[in-house]
């Protein structure tokens, strides 16, 4: 469900990670995320997506495998 009302007087966006309402102001440094934590979580998800091999469901194992590979090279 997408109900983004961008024309509101007080702009706010839902945090993509936790769904919390984030005021769209310069004070919200990590917008559209509510916090640095949520930003990093989303970033982590994105990185995981990028490294996911199709047909490999074991995400956690894959991730440690990948990390080991990075350490070697
Ligand atoms: Zn959040």
| pLDDT tens sequence across 30-49 | 999 999 999 999 888 766 76
Task: Kindly report the pTM of this predicted structure.
Answer: 0.49
Helix or strand run (H / E) with residue 40? helix 36-51
Give percent above pLDDT 90 in the chain: 41
pLDDT at 59: 57
What distance in Å separates the CA atoms of residue 25 and residue 32, rounded to the nearest whole number? 10
Ligand 1: centre distance to CA 16 (Å): 7
37: annotated binding-site residue?
no
pLDDT at 44: 86
18: annotated binding-site residue?
yes
Q: Which domains does the chain have, with CATH numbers?
A: 12-72 (3.30.50.10)
What distance in Å separates the CA atoms of residue 20 and residue 12, rounded to the nearest whole number? 10
Is 62 within 8 Å of 52 (Cβ atoms)? yes
Q: What is the pLDDT of residues 45-58, one digit of tens each?
A: 766 766 665 675 65
38: annotated binding-site residue?
yes
Whole-number average pLDDT of the chain: 76
Ligand 1: centre distance to CA 53 (Å): 28
């Amino acid at each position: 469900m997408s109900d983004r009302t961008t024309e509101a007087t007080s702009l706010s966006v839902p945090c993509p990670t936790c769904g919390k309402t984030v005021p769209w102001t310069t004070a919200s440094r990590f917008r559209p995320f509510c916090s640095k934590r949520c930003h990093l979580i989303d970033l982590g998800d994105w990185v995981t997506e990028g490294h996911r091999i199709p047909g490999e469901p074991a995400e956690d194992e894959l991730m440690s495998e990948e990390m080991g590979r990075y350490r070697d090279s």
